[in-house]
Amino acid sequence: MDINEMTYEQAVAELRDIVKQLNEGKATLDDSIKLYNRGIELSKFCSSKLDEAEQKILLYNKDQDATEPFDVE
């Protein structure tokens, strides 16, 4: 599936699957490299989605006169 058509949740699920496959060690070297590259793409996509969500929250807080940013931790 094209990453840009995925939801955040779908990307995380695929990323978890990739980590599981790599940890099992059953994939060939070439397949492992492909999985790793796909994982990097998914990781960047997820990070971007989280950054977008944070910016939306910050804008919402600004519009609501909130002075503290949303803390995820």
Q: What is the pTM of this model?
A: 0.78
Q: Could you give the residue ranges of the DSSP H alpha helices within 3-70?
A: 8-24, 29-63
For the chain, residues with pLDDT lower than 70 are 65-73
- Determine the Cα–Cα distance for residues 45 and 11; give it in Å rounded to an integer: 8
- What residue ranges do the domains of the chain occupy? 3-63
pLDDT at 23: 97
Q: Which amino acid type is present at position 67?
A: T
pLDDT at 65: 65
pLDDT at 60: 83
Question: 3-63 adopts what CATH topology?
Answer: Helix Hairpins (1.10.287)
Task: Summarize pLDDT for 37-51 with one digit per residue, the tens.
Answer: 999 999 999 999 999
Residue 25's Cβ-side half-sphere holds a number of Cα atoms within 13 Å equal to 0
